[in-house]
Amino acid sequence: MFIERRIGQGTNAVELWRCEWENLAGKPAQKVYLEKIGEEQSLIQEAQSSASDVPAICWSYGRTLGNIAVFSQNLLGQFPGGVGDDAELPCDFVDAGKFRHGAERWWCRTHQTHWGIKADHEALDRFGEMRCANHTQLMHYVVSPFTVNVEDHAEVGIWCSMPAALSSVEIRRRAPRIHVHIRQETGAKKSMDGDFHAISLLYNDKSRLFGNKDITRVNITPPSAFEFVCSLELNREMGCINCSHCGYPHLDLGDFAHKPHRKHFCGNCGRDSTWSQAPIVSTPLKPLHDQYLDSLKYEVPNREINLDEYKHCNYTIWASTPAILWTAQRPQELGIHVHVHEGMTRIIDDTFGEVILDGKPLDRSTLIRSMIDRSTT
């Protein structure tokens, strides 16, 4: 038994069929199509109009690849709530060439794994359906995510929010979130100041950020935002390379995001034929961030605070981190953010150049390390 592709009758879909060679005495062997087992998806997604599509962003921790530059906001899947970590998504197979031993190979874009080894064929026989080895893996999701159209506002700032570095009260470990500031006019009050699980960013494509002009949406997920900020802080060599096979902008996560490398494995087509000139960590957030490089300046605020003068209060301390996206002309403040509470009242909420605690100035990079360590990824 083997699997063959064929064009669907009356459709343009590439169908996957289970086939057999029929050897009848005296006749040449003949290929028999036994049954259709699924449809192969094209590498460039067409807009879908199925009713079960919902605008959603999904992500998963512990992966080394991901897709955040997308053609469409819609995903096919089952989402039990508006936000959660228990989304079930169907496999989404694309042709991925052949295994080294010659067998046909597919790539599941949803669960990021190849299909086509013996165990996969056995499972197909048992369940009558192509499912990848990771298909039961539940994913984090947000339905109808907050969407920012960058061009619509005078100033947009986006950060990766992490747990605090130091506090007089307990600091909970948690997943990174996406923090957003929006101002309609320079100097005006913020019209948005909030934390999100994930957001979708739209921009018009004058700037041609990616190889494919149809990509005008980038989903900022917690793993992609977290790795990007860590790479900025730790000065890892970053870039954004498009897959040599399918043109998709490549996102490194996990181990791949920790170590710059030259050979990149594509999360959209499952091929590893893409080489960068120098070792880099690749992320679509890099060109997005670099669009505003001309006006990118950091400024250490000329303010200090001695927390030893607030012994009767509770405090919480974060190192400010570089923004993922900062469209304002003003410099970003790079310092230490402090909240001080006297009883229930927040009496201090500001970013300082120097913070004294127990008679010693705090070191920003040590604070960053503890924020990274407390982030669950």
Contacting residues toward Zn ion, per CB under 5 A? 91, 108, 110-111, 132, 135, 243, 245-246, 248, 252, 256, 264, 266, 268-269, 282, 349
Spell out the residues 6+ positions from residue 296 whose beta carbon is closer than 8 angstroms to its own.
Answer: 326, 332
Instruction: For residue 82, give the amino acid letter.
Output: G
User: Which of 23, 19, 25 has its CA nearest to residue 1?
Assistant: 19
Residue with Cβ nearer Zn ion (150 or 367):
367
User: How far apart are CB 364 and Zn ion at their closest, in Å?
Assistant: 16
The pair of structure tokens assigned to 178 is 């996406």
3-class secondary structure per residue, 304-344: EEEHHHHCCCEEEEEECCCCCEECCCCCEECCEEEEEEECC
Please check whether residue 322 is in contact with residue 158, taking contact to mean a CB–CB distance below 8 angstroms.
Answer: no
Residue 285 phi, psi dihedral angles, 5° rounding: -75, -20
Residue with Cβ nearer Zn ion (106 or 326):
106
Query: Helices 222-233 and 364-374, interaxial angle, to 10°?
Result: 150
User: How far apart are CB 221 and Zn ion at their closest, in Å?
Assistant: 17
Round to whole Å and give the CA distance between 127 and 119.
12
Residue with Cβ nearer Zn ion (222 or 267):
267
User: How far apart are CB 51 and Zn ion at their closest, in Å?
Assistant: 22
Residue with Cβ nearer Zn ion (112 or 327):
112
Residue with Cβ nearer Zn ion (84 or 239):
239
User: How far apart are CB 58 and Zn ion at their closest, in Å?
Assistant: 12
Residue with Cβ nearer Zn ion (106 or 150):
106
Residue with Cβ nearer Zn ion (268 or 321):
268
User: How far apart are CB 229 and Zn ion at their closest, in Å?
Assistant: 18
Long-range (24+ apart) CB contacts under 8 A made by 90-93 are 90/135, 91/115, 91/130, 91/131, 91/132, 91/135, 92/41, 93/16, 93/38, 93/40, 93/41, 93/130, 93/132
> Taking the CB of residue 334, how many other CB atoms lie within 10 A of it?
17
User: How far apart are CB 206 and Zn ion at their closest, in Å?
Assistant: 25
Residue that the structure tokens 């228990």 belong to: 86
User: How far apart are CB 55 and Zn ion at their closest, in Å?
Assistant: 21
